[in-house]
Amino acid sequence: MNNFSFHNPTKIIFGEGQISALAKLLPVDARILFTYGGGSIKKNGVYDQVIKALAGKTFFEFSGIEPNPHYETVLKAVEIAKGKKIDFLLAVGGGSVIDATKLIAAAINFAGEPWDILAKNSPIKSALPIGCVLTLPATGTESNGNSVITKFSTHEKLAFGNSLVYPQFAILDPTTTYTLPPRQIANGVVDAFVHIMEQYLTYPVNAKVQDRFAEGLLLTLIEEGPKVLTQPNDYAIRANIMWAATMALNGLIGVGVPQDWATHALGHEITALHGLDHAQTLAIVLPTLMSQQRTTKREKLIQYGKRVWGLTNSDEEKLIDVAIAETKNFFEKMGAPTTFSGYGIKDSLTSTLIEKLIQHNSLPIGEHRDITAEVATKILTAAA
């Protein structure tokens, strides 16, 4: 196990009816900017619950944060927050709303062009406090310091991470997820699954707790993911998926172990270029990346096959083949095709994708920094 620091200060409030706890979680006399997306929270009752909990508080609304949230939208919110002298941000929605709100929090006191926080890793000295109500289990952003933002004007999708933008609290009510369309459910499960794999499927460092936790989360998603599609109003299934998705990327399973994140790096470029959902890009990349990297990931692939898929093949090469096939099959079963053609993309524009990767200084990638332009090309080509 490698040395590590771990500190997750986000308070989780989990369960049905917990949005009513908002009132006592928010600072007295706060001037709140309540951020949300395209209005789905108005249809499923979450907006009304939030408004009720905010009774007596000073708050303003900022809506219209889109999926793969735009930098341009963040800038609009920053202007409003400055004008209204906002001192607390309340994000209500899925990962996009929370990610955008993190950049709002970081940008508000930032001297200069806030895009530099992502593009140049420019340091931030302070951020507005954030609280959130999560309605889409997927990204783990509700209890981490990460954010992914897309600059619409240039199609660039970049990430930043900072301990200052951990939400102070996150309310997770599984019933808020009942009305999600199947595609978003699938996206959430696939996204959480791949977050775990990025931290797990590398090479062994004898970190038994982290491995067992990662495997436990994968098993939970494999068991509950397909069920949620046929039993959308089952509370226990929703609760298990929601909690697994949070634990998948709150930092815990990644402490003291090597991490990969090449699937995400490739996936971000695919979203920026082709407009696919984040999780769809992960479903495309991960299986062929597993095949391409089967030598360096060999030991963990075998462990994954045995412990997560219960495989007992004595031929280890065959076992790895089956483990990869099961992974593909799981994504497909969730409703996420695992090839470009599955989304009707006949030309993946691989060379453009690689150019963008190089431009973002992110090659070579992977836990061994061995995914060069050449290797990435093979991965993308195999996913045609």
Residue matched to tokens 């815990």: 252
Per rule CB under 8 A, count of chain residues that contact a second copy: 41
The one-letter amino acid at 26: L
How many CA atoms within 13 Å lie on the side-chain side of 6?
14
The answer to whether 208 contacts a second copy (rule: CB under 8 A) is yes
Answer yes or no whether residue 16 interacts with a second copy by CB under 8 A: yes
Among the listed residues 65, 185, 207, 249, the single contact to a second copy using CB under 8 A: 207
Place of tokens 């996936």: 267
| Encoded tokens for 217 | 């989360």
DSSP state for residue 21 in the 8-state scheme: G
Q: Which of 62, 115, 160, 213 binds a second copy (CB under 8 A)?
A: 213
Which DSSP state fits 176? G
212 makes contact with a second copy (CB under 8 A): yes
Q: Does 295 bind a second copy (CB under 8 A)?
A: no
Q: Does 217 bind a second copy (CB under 8 A)?
A: yes
Number of Cβ within a 10 Å radius of residue 299: 12
Contacts with a second copy, 248-287, as mask; x by CB under 8 A: ----x--xx-------------------------------
CB of 316 to a second copy, least distance (A): 21
Is 5 one of the binding residues for a second copy (CB under 8 A)? yes
Nearest-5° angle of CA 336, CA 215, CA 167? 75
Q: Is 206 in the site for a second copy (CB under 8 A)?
A: yes
Angle at 131 between CA 128 and CA 133, to 5 degrees: 150
- Of the pair 209, 373, the CB lying nearest a second copy is at 209
Q: Which is nearer to a second copy, 128 or 218 (CB)?
A: 218
Instruction: Write out the DSSP string of 109-170.
Output: T-SS-THHHHHS----S----EEEEE-S-SS-GGGSSEEEEEETTTTEEEEEE-GGGS-SEE
Residue whose CB is less far from a second copy, 13 or 349: 13
Q: How far is CA 306 from the centre of its chain?
A: 26
Question: Nearer to a second copy by C-beta: 153 or 230?
Answer: 230
Site string for a second copy, 219-248 (x = CB under 8 A): xx--xx-----------x--xx--xx--x-
Nearer to a second copy, 20 or 339 (CB): 20
| DSSP letters spanning 292-352 | HTTTTTHHHHHHHHHHHH----SSHHHHHHHHHHHHHHHHHHHT--SSSGGGT-S---HHH
Residue 136 in the binding site for a second copy (CB under 8 A):
no
Least distance from a second copy to the Cβ atom of residue 212, Å: 3
- For the bound state, the minimum distance from the C-beta of residue 191 to a second copy, rounded and expressed in Å, comes to 16
- Residue numbers at the binding site for a second copy (CB under 8 A): 1-18, 206-209, 211-213, 215-217, 219-220, 223-224, 236, 239-240, 243-244, 247, 252, 255-256
